[in-house]
Amino acid sequence: MTAGGGRGIGRAGQLLAAWLCLTLIGGCPLRPSEPESRAAYFIEKLIREPQAVEDLQAVAVFPAERGPEAFLDDLPVRTALMYLRARARLGAELGIHTGGASTPAPDRRRVAVSVSEGLVIGATEAVRFQVELSRRDDQWMVTRLSAD
């Protein structure tokens, strides 16, 4: 390999790295867009980063004055999230898994999301959520949350 050939490969690598950086910064959404992945993302954010209101607001519809806490009006949801947040703070590794999804209407989805300790579902008792999403402005947005 010649010295010039080595520089060509290095230059190509630099161009590829620059392109990837610009793609990430320039507008590829980092938040998931499919209903199942959005539901799992939403649950994970509620557990690990409930203060990330901007991230939650990007995937969910809730009153601005109440923020994400609007989803905690239901006692089973509030209890489940308090438990999971405490377990996460204590260092438990939480596995978040989507289950079945149903389609009550073409612009609505209901996604089952299970959270269990460990990476494998069924390793311990899972906490189950039902996440409802609606299609709004060509995006799936979380509109309701319930827990078993």
Sketch the domain layout of the chain as residue ranges.
Answer: 1-30, 32-147
In angstroms, rounded to a whole number, what is the distance separating the alpha carbons of residues 39 and 45? Answer: 10
pLDDT one-digit tens code per residue, 16-54: 555 444 444 434 445 567 899 999 999 999 999 999 999
Residue 68 has pLDDT above 90, yes or no: no
Residue 7 has pLDDT above 70, yes or no: no
> Does the structural domain 32-147 have CATH classification 3.10.450.50?
yes
Q: Which residue has the higher pLDDT, 45 or 2?
A: 45
pLDDT one-digit tens code per residue, 137-147: 889 999 999 99
In angstroms, rounded to a whole number, what is the distance separating the alpha carbons of residues 22 and 16? Answer: 10
pLDDT one-digit tens code per residue, 79-128: 999 999 999 999 999 999 998 888 888 899 999 999 998 755 555 678 99
For residue 105, what pLDDT is reported?
Answer: 85
CA-CA distances (angstroms) from residue 32 to 21, 28, 36, 86, 117?
Answer: 19, 10, 9, 26, 23
